[in-house]
Amino acid sequence: MSEEFKQSILDALANPNLSGALGRFSEAYRVSRAKAYEGIDFEAVRSEIAAVKSSAAGQLDVLADKFKAAAEARGTKVFRTDSPKAVRDYILRLAQEHGVKSIVKSKSMASEEIHLNKHLEQAGIDVQETDLGEWIIQLAGQTPSHMVMPAIHMTKEEVADVFSENVEEGQQPDIPKLVKFARGKLRAKFLGADMGISGANIAVAETGSLVIITNEGNARLVTTLPKIHVAIVGLEKLIEHFGDITPILTALPRSATSQLLTSYVSIISGPVANTDGTPKELHIILMDNRRNEMARDPRFKQALQCIRCASCLNVCPVFRLVGGHVFGKVYTGGIGTILTAWFGALKESDEIQSLCIQCGNCKEMCPAKIDIPDLILELRRRLAVEQGQPLMQKAIFSVVNNRRMFHGIMRAASVGQIPFAKQGLIRHLPMFLSSMTEFRSLPAIAAVPFRDRIQKIKQPKCTEKAALFGGCLVDFAYPEVGEKVVEVLNKAGIEVIFPEGQTCCGAPARYSGAYEVAAQNGADNIKALLAEDVKYVVSACPTCTVALKQDFIANLEAVGRTGELPAARQLAEKVVDFSTLASMLVDAGRLKFKKGIEPTKFTYHDSCHYKRTLHAEQTPRKLMKLAGHELVEMQESDMCCGMGGSYTLKLPELSAPILERKLVNIEQAGAPLVLIDCPGCVMQIRGGLDKRGSKIQVEHTVQRLAECLE
Amino acid sequence: MSAIAESSEIIQSFIQRAEAVSAQVERFATKQNALESLVRLLHEEQVEDKPDSYAVWSASPMIGETERTQLEAAVPGLRFDVTRELAAAAKVGISQMDWALANTGTLVQCADAVDKRLVSTLPLLHVAVVSTAALLPDLPAVLRKIDPRKSSYLSFITGPSRTADIERVLTIGVHGPERLLIVLVDDLEAAA
């Protein structure tokens, strides 16, 4: 990560408007969005959009031909090109042929993508953005920081200054007055413009129609007043049938701005008469710019389903801290990272992809069902392949795989006796507990790891057996969590074994894009865990559980080790997370709650993988309520705590403020106990609360559950 | 549910949704009542026969020769010969919409004729007249009625023009009207 990039993060974090306004917006957004979707089956709508757009992405050329034929039959001129330069040249030539001196534009991300304004201005043409946010940033000489609200990073004071400096002196920071001022100034531009340029939200192939959505009404003026209208449309906007606009018009306003419908939707299917009775010159430019190439990529084809609602920005714990400019100049946030890699170049995404903490919020909210975190991981993987793995990274993973050596180094570091020779390495170790992390206290590394402790536990001989997968944190930092798992399962008549050959689950390697290493981790674990015949393979870590259940398979597939897939699937069948297994045992009457437990208020933190990949978040809540405890939900219980595995080490600047917000929400819930199913989150949250001197207890669900059982 | 109960439910829903997005809604039993009320409104708005005070009314099925003559006589400054210049210098724009959608409070119009767009974009007040019988439940219902092969420019209008581009503060009236008055008329014929 370059110093320059780190600095841009620090600058953004230091900007109080970004952290304040964006943070409040992001909190309010979830509530207002949910309200806008009341009475709508979101899953059904997004499945429909995904189907419509996926089908379109599979036949972009066919649909482009169809669109062209339908639109041209009505007198529209359609120009299709792969090249951004050809788009710029076409528009400039058209403008020059018609003696165009001034252009008004409504919002078009495609035009930003090809830096159209600069090109036209260099030729002496006056180009005016008319969307208020776009106009502000145009005047300020900036780029949009958000796909829907381009100037969200600016305060009204800054806007007043921009207007005063660039348009007319003396503007006051009064929002209604600033809006009126813009109306007045831009009205003259609309009436005097020779050409209007717009984008489009949807292009319907069978009818040659463009669907354009705005709230301000500027697109209606841009497409009505000037005699020439040019629409720039990315090929991904194509859909086949007119009726298919319904799901998109249902989801886009709700997801983008929490509206049931935007103020204006215009459907333009052919040239209409101008105000002087002459026919309008309507030009539609269908722009490829690598979209077809994307459609042919089996992984990234999915990204063409995007309807540009920007909800992935609004719910992102990182975006709400740093805003859009850290991400780049055109497309920002999660989907922006992917689009930048394609419409720009893969290496342009090198730094911004590292901003993703893999919490999965965006995936859950995406109205086009795009697995954004997965695609960002795929970028990471391809970058790692392209750039080769740095030596240091290789060294680290060899340490992680050697469990005794890893434990030894961690233990030495934890007690402050780091051998000098290992110091450089240690700084890069995944999950390493270094002094860099000043914002929270860290657990001491256990002198005796769980793998040795379990040998000393006297267990009853049972016919049913479970293998415990420890993972780094249970094995080395929280062996007491592993002991409680054994205690609970023993009560249900299950004997727990700890296959010695188990190693790292491979998540750190996978999340660094090092798939070869991750696949080898998986192969080693599969061998170890299938060696003995057990009924369950249980883990008290959701990230490990996901690795065992899903990622082993995906990693082996990614590197072409298909021969090992049957064993990986056999293992996946047996894998279960602790709370889910405990709940099954309670249901089967094999675990019984003590009578007369003193009820304790508790709040529950949803770990990212636990909720959004395993979908098990209700299980521990239910178990604890059955035990007689009282749940008090915190605000944003499912927002990431900022741990994200090695993320907290790579980007402590971001991990700390994400944690800060979580801690405030926990404190405001007012319960003396936080329960969590992930030892990583336990480490982050317990460390953070301890640093604040809080009395709130943080426990893994198994620790509290064990006390409640007979 | 009886047809009458169902229709009154759809009207209630439309009014509620439209008001929720800052539109005003008035309902009249007859066209005559509606026109009388509009004349009063135009007087209140001080529509006059001078620049920046006109009212412009785009071609509407509800306005025949007789209505036009009467209205022109009643309100000096009310113009039916809509041009770009007149619309730009008008206080009020009036148009008749083809359909309305109950679940979003939306008005829908086939707006190929430019005067229909001029009166609903340029003046600060847009008065949209629509037949109560033209109320449809939702978007799919209107998509079954409109044919983009026959209409080159379809307009959907939901509330007045708005922005939240500065500090996310909702502000009404950016480039389009800052007021939208919807006039529901029970005895008007609905579009096909």
The set of residues, in sequence order, having a beta carbon less than 8 Å from that of A418 and lying 6+ positions away, is A409, A412, A426
Given CATH 3.40.50.10420, say whether it is the number of domain B3-185: yes
Helix (H, G, I), strand (E, B), or coil: what is residue A368? coil
The per-residue DSSP string of A698-709 comes to: EEEHHHHHHHHB
ipTM topping 0.95: yes
DSSP β-bridge partners for residue A78: A284
Residues of chain B found within 8 Å of residue A257, distances taken between Cβ atoms: 164
What's the whole-number mean pLDDT along residues A339-363? Answer: 93
Residues A95, A103 contacting (CB under 8 angstroms): yes
Residue A79 has pLDDT above 60, yes or no: yes
Residues A490, A585 contacting (CB under 8 angstroms): no
**What secondary structure letter does DSSP report for B98?**
S
Interior angle at CA A270, CA A269 and CA A276, nearest 5? 135
Residues A486, A468 contacting (CB under 8 angstroms): yes
Which positions 23-82 of B are in contact with A (Cβ < 8 Å)?
none
Which positions 580-599 of A are in contact with B (Cβ < 8 Å)?
none
What's the whole-number mean pLDDT along residues A23-49? Answer: 95
pLDDT of residue B119: 98
What region, left, alpha or beta, does residue A279 occupy, with left being phi > 0 and alpha being psi -120 to 50 degrees?
Answer: beta
Q: Which domains does chain A have, with CATH numbers?
A: 10-292 (3.40.50.10420), 601-708 (3.40.50)
Helix (H, G, I), strand (E, B), or coil: what is residue A621? helix
H/E/C letters for each residue in A282-320? EEEEEECCCHHHHHHCCCHHHHHHCCCCCHHHHCCCCHH
Q: How many angstroms away from the CA of B80 is the closest CA of chain A?
A: 15
pLDDT of residue A255: 98
Residue A512 has pLDDT above 90, yes or no: no
pLDDT in tens, A357-411: 999 999 999 999 999 999 999 999 999 888 887 776 777 777 777 888 888 877 7
Question: Which element (helix H / strand E) includes B107?
Answer: strand B106-110
Which positions 214-243 of A are in contact with B (Cβ < 8 Å)?
215-218, 220-221, 223-225, 242-243
Residue A42 has pLDDT above 80, yes or no: yes
Residue A425 has pLDDT above 90, yes or no: no
Placement of tokens 């001196």 in the chain: A101
Residue B6 has pLDDT above 70, yes or no: no
DSSP β-bridge partners for residue A601: A630
Placement of tokens 């049931």 in the chain: A260
Cβ distance of A150 and B118 shorter than 8 Å? no
What's the whole-number mean pLDDT along residues A264-284? Answer: 97
CB atoms within 10 A of CB A480: 15
pLDDT in tens, A159-177: 999 999 999 999 999 999 9
Determine the residue among B142, B175, B179 to mutate to test chain A binding: the one whose Cβ has the most chain A Cβ atoms within 10 Å. B175
Q: How many angstroms away from the CA of A574 is the closest CA of chain B?
A: 47
Nearest CB among A130, A150, A178 relative to B175 is that of: A130
C-alpha span between B48 and B43 (Å, rounded): 8
The set of residues, in sequence order, having a beta carbon less than 8 Å from that of A273 and lying 6+ positions away, is A279, A280, B112, B113, B114
Structure confidence at residue B171 as a pLDDT band (50, 70, 90) = very high
CB atoms within 10 A of CB A44: 11
Residue A426 has pLDDT above 70, yes or no: no
What's the whole-number mean pLDDT along residues A491-502? Answer: 96
Say how many residues make up chain A.
710
Q: Which ranges constitute the DSSP H helices of A492-632?
A: 507-510, 515-530, 542-546, 552-558, 565-574, 578-587, 608-612, 618-626
Q: Which residue of B has its CA nearest to A182?
A: B174
Residues A498, A527 contacting (CB under 8 angstroms): no
Residue A423 has pLDDT above 80, yes or no: no
- At A551, list the tokens: 């990622």
Q: Give the distance between the most distant pair of CA atoms in chain B.
A: 52
> Would you state the torsion angle of the CA atoms of residues B35, B54, B70, B133, taken in this order, to the nearest 10 degrees?
-30
| Least confidently predicted of A349-353, A416-420, A481-485, A638-642 | A416-420
pLDDT of residue A128: 97
Mean pLDDT of chain A: 93
C-alpha span between B30 and A276 (Å, rounded): 35
Residues of chain B found within 8 Å of residue A242, distances taken between Cβ atoms: 143, 148
Residue A63 has pLDDT above 80, yes or no: yes
The distance of Cα A457 from the centroid of its chain, to the nearest Å, equals: 42
Residue B191 has pLDDT above 90, yes or no: no
Structure confidence at residue B1 as a pLDDT band (50, 70, 90) = very low
Structure confidence at residue A650 as a pLDDT band (50, 70, 90) = confident
pLDDT of residue A646: 79
pLDDT of residue A22: 86
- At A234, list the tokens: 């990315």
Q: How many angstroms away from the CA of B31 is the closest CA of chain A?
A: 27
The set of residues, in sequence order, having a beta carbon less than 8 Å from that of A126 and lying 6+ positions away, is A101, A102, A103
Question: Which element (helix H / strand E) includes A479?
Answer: helix A479-491
pLDDT of residue A666: 98
The per-residue DSSP string of A57-108 comes to: HTTHHHHHHHHHHHHHHTT-EEEEES-HHHHHHHHHHHHHHTT--EEEE---
Sign of CA dihedral B72, B75, B76, B82: negative
pLDDT of residue A329: 81
- Comparing A410 with A285, which gets the higher pLDDT? A285
The set of residues, in sequence order, having a beta carbon less than 8 Å from that of B65 and lying 6+ positions away, is none
- Select from A114, A292, A265 the least CA-distant residue to A201: A265
Helix (H, G, I), strand (E, B), or coil: what is residue A148? coil
Mean pLDDT of chain B: 95
What's the whole-number mean pLDDT along residues A118-142? Answer: 97
H/E/C letters for each residue in A653-671? HHHHHHHHHHHHHHHHHCC
Cα-atom radius of gyration of chain A, to the nearest Å? 28
| Least confidently predicted of A17-21, A216-220, A237-241 | A17-21
**Distances in whole angstroms, Cα of residue A313 to Cα of each of A112, A260, A377, B107, B168:** 18, 20, 17, 31, 15
Determine the residue among B114, B116, B121, B167 to mutate to test chain A binding: the one whose Cβ has the most chain A Cβ atoms within 10 Å. B167
pLDDT in tens, A627-641: 999 999 999 999 999
